[in-house]
Each structure stands twice: as C-alpha cells, then as structure tokens.
Amino acid sequence: MFTKKTIRDIEVENKRVLITVDFNVPVNDDGTVIDDYRIRQTIPTLTYLLGKNCSLVLIGHLGRPKSNDDPKTSFRHVAIRLSELLQKEVLFAEDCVGDKAKVVADHLQPGMVAVFENVRYHEGEEDNDPEFAKAIIDASGAEVFVQDGFGTAHRKYASYDAITTFGIPAVAGLLLEKEVDTITSVMEAPERPLMVVVGGAKISDKIEILQKFIEIADYVTVVGALANTFLLAEGHSVGTSLAEPNDVPLAKEILAKAHAKAIAGRFTFFVPRDVVVAKDISAEVETRIVDLSHNTWADIESYPKRPEEKAFSVADDEKILDIGPFSASHIAGAMKFAKTVIWNGTCGVTEVKGLAGAADPFAHGTKILVEAMIGDAGQQDHPFVVVGGGDTVSFVESQPGLREQLGHVSTGGGASLDLMAGKELPGVVVLEDNV
C-alpha cells in the first residue's frame, strides 16, 4: 500500500501546480520524439489536475546535456509532443528559472499548461542545490508540488528532493503511486510461482537485486550480456562478447548462493546452455548456434560423426548475440507454470533489424519468451508480467499491441530495480505521509 499522500488526498482546486515528470525520452536529430511512452503515462495525472481547474508547470530533464545550447536535449521537444497528446496548447519557457520562466508562468490561467526548459541545463539540479530549487518554485508561482517522475526518483536531485523543503504541499502523482504500489506488491506478496528474467551488462550493477531475487523467487534466469559473465565463471569462452571479466568472482558468489538454495528447496537458477553467435553485429552477418553444455544441437548436426570442438565453443572472433533455441525453450517452458514474471532485460541484441522485413536476427530468444508470457490467443491464465529496464521497455513498445497484454510496463529502470531491492527512493521519501 502506497504510504504517501497523492493529488487525491489534498485540495488542489484552482491551484498552480508544479510537477516533476520523467520525460527523458528518445528523440530524432530533428527533435521528433521517437517513443512517447513515458509522456503518455503521466497523462492521467495531468488530466486529473486540469479537471480540478489547476494551472500546471512541468519540469524535468532530457538526456545528459553538456551545455544549455544543445538543441537535441531541449525540453521543447516534449512540450510539442505533450501538446499533441493533450490536444491543447502547451506553453514553453526557454529556462526553468528567472525571468524567461516567470513570464511564461505569469501567462497561465486555470486549465493551462506550461513546460519549463531542461533542468539539467543548470548544475544545481544534480547538486541538489536548494537555491536552484527555490528559484524554480519562485518562477513557477507554485502552490503545490507533485512528484510524478518515477524514472529518476532514485536520484537525490533538486527537482526531486530539495524542492520539497519550502513549505508548499509535496505529494505524489498517479503514475508514481501506481509504480510504487505495483512493484512493491510484486516483491512482497507475489502470486507464485515467481519467475525472474534478468539481463543487462554489469553484474556489479545488478548484484543487490540478483541477491534479492534468489531470496524471494522460485526461478531466476540471466540473459543478454549479463549471462556472458556467468558463462565465463562456469569456464566457457565468450570470444569478443560484451562481458565483465572483473565481475567473475561476483558471478561465482551468486552461483554458489543459488546452488545452496536449490539444494535446500525447489529453486532454479538458469544460465543459458546454448547461444547464437556471429562475428559482427549486423543484419547481413552469418550466425550459428553454439551448444555450450548438452551438445544436443552439435550431435544432431554432426551425426553420425562426433562434432568438432567449434560446435560447442565460441570462437575467439565471435560474439554472443542471443540465447539459443534450447535455452529459450527451457525458459519459456518454465514460464508456462509461472503466475508472476519480473522481466528486466532482453535476451539478445533486439535493436538489429532483419533485411527486407525478415525476422530480427538476434531477437528470436526474446520473442519466444514473450510468446510464453502472453500465452496463446484466448488463454486466460498467463502470468502477470512486470517489465522494467530501458531496453526491455523499448522492445515492448516496438511490438504492436504487446504492452496491452502485459501486466505492468514500468517507466523506470534504475528506480524500479532500487525499489525491488528494498531501497528507499529519495524522490518518494520526502513526500508527505498519508497518516
């Protein structure tokens, strides 16, 4: 249960409301928003407040700007897309503090919306500078502060933390409430069996959450580049694959903990047993399956002869770019019995598109898992799936109609992982308690 006050718990009628949002979305070189999922998820909060005759000022960041004249990181791009989604004019201020911001805010009437420029154009944002936070409040004329940017709520930045210290009510938006409620419920009281699919690159970034998942889940599998380091720990060659040799001791520690739990009770920790490799990451490259352990595919392809060593080992000049069909089928089979699935990380390099509409060469493993998640047409008993992580969400959004078939697609990567690991989120802790 969410323990902080939300916009439903306070009087907001006719108020000027300052809202922190996570509109850190990908944009083209011309500024067109490529994926507006995070923007769309905040619409219920904005609609509720506009229905209360509020005037709204939105603040947030886009990218990691090196200077305040980088046109690709201007918040103007999200203001344009937000205007299209709300089907109403959205004013834009060329700064988030000072006269440029104040002039725009002063033009706001009840029911109007303004977007201030990227807060990361100022060093005070990441420094959690209270003077910078106060300057935003003064420029906006805010009477209420609303935190609805879940994706960066794990950071102690000025627009999340310091901004709540100046006496105006500080409460959560509907998106923040939904994110925290859903993720907390899945971690604390999931319907079992609970299955976890974890990808990424560095074990050091996932060590806490992997430890947590081993404690609470019934089945955990590592995929993507994260799995490569576990393969190194098991003694396999990974060629030129993305991996972290320095993290091999961590991988061995996790494998030992998982093995101990498996001996003590019903638990599975699965590392891919076959992989798809290629010498380069492109749609034209030749791929092959490497059978790392059981050698089933290698035996079949070479029968009646014994397979050559290359059939079950990754060559020095090859990269692992997807899990193989045996591993995908094994994970998908287990998923058929799961009631809850936490999915953080695709199985392969899903952004590489096939030629002339052909199947994406390194997305087969991910698509097999997705089919298991959503079940057959008309099937009612597929698992409740919580999706987190930037690459995973991007893949889901690239598949028409997929998001609607999954339980909860989070807007946060690091924030969702921190919350799953049991950490307090600075952007949530500072909000008013609902007592």
Residues carrying an active site annotation: 38, 202, 390, 414
Euclidean distance between CA atoms 406 and 408, whole angstroms: 6
Give the integer Cα–Cα distance in Å for 195 and 389: 16
Would you state the structure tokens that stand for residue 270, as one six-digit string? Answer: 């699965």
Using a 10 angstrom Cβ sphere, with 0-12 exposed, 13-18 middle and 19 or more buried, the burial of residue 290 is buried
For 14-51, letters b (16+ CB in 10 Å) and e give ebbbbbbbbbbbebeeeeebeebebbebbeebbebbbe
- Ordered DSSP codes for 74-140: -THHHHHHHHHHHTS-EEEES-SSHHHHHHHHHT--TT-EEEE--GGGSHHHHTT-HHHHHHHHHHH
Beta strands per DSSP E along 209-351: 219-222, 268-270, 274-278, 288-291, 319-323, 340-344
* C-alpha–C-alpha distance, residues 148 and 163, integer Å: 13
Q: What is the bridge-based pairing of β-strands 288-291 and 274-278?
A: antiparallel
Nearest alpha-carbon partner for 39 in 187, 192, 149, 137: 149
Q: What phi and psi values does residue 324 have, to the nearest 5 degrees?
A: -85, 175
Count of alpha carbons within 13 Å of 222, Cβ hemisphere only? 25
Asked whether 209 and 422 are in contact (CB, 8 A), the reply is no
Of the candidates 374, 351, 376, which has an alpha carbon nearest to the alpha carbon of residue 363? 351
Backbone angles phi, psi at 106, to 5 degrees: -65, -20
Whether the CB-CB separation of 203 and 224 falls below 8 Å is answered with no
Residue ranges of alpha helices (H) inside 107-239 are 123-126, 130-140, 174-188, 203-216, 224-233
Q: Any idea which residue has 């922190």 for tokens?
A: 20
Distances (CA, A) of 72 to 61, 95, 119, 175, 390: 12, 15, 14, 26, 19
- Which pair of tokens denotes residue 128? 């959690």
> What pairs with residue 408 in β-bridges?
386
